[in-house]
Amino acid sequence: MTSFEKHQYVRSKPLLEACRELPCMHCGIEDGSVVAAHSNQGIHHKAKGIKADDSAVASLCYACHSKLDQGSKLSKQERMTMWFNAHVKTVRELVRRGLWPLDIQVPDIRVFN
């Protein structure tokens, strides 16, 4: 029998709050509705009833977040692409502004270039 180590989820209130400091990384709006939109993919440790790691977030406004999560007008690939592009922009901008918490490892976004 193979045993698997349980994933230690990354949870960071400061990181989630920092995401609110940015404009929407998809449409650019700054309307006060921007929040950290977690990845919906298993690769980021999303599971039934469990959000992905807090380091797998994108700063998105309410409209774009809704489009992503209830995206009946977008294909699965379009939703994945939308989130990944916004995620890369979010990570870069939080690091650039010095808002990425020092105790949270910065995701390797080079694979998304």
26 and 60 in contact (C-beta within 8 Å)?
A: yes
pLDDT tier for residue 48 given thresholds of 50, 70 and 90: confident
- Output the pTM of the full model: 0.88
The residues, any chain, with a CB within 8 Å of residue 61's CB and separated by 6 or more, are 24, 26, 27, 29, 31, 33, 34
pLDDT at 113 over 70: no
The string of pLDDT tens digits covering residues 55-87 is 999 999 999 999 998 878 899 899 999 999 999
pLDDT at 44: 77
pLDDT tier for residue 3 given thresholds of 50, 70 and 90: low
Neighbouring-strand partners of residue 103 = none
d(CA 46, CA 89): 21
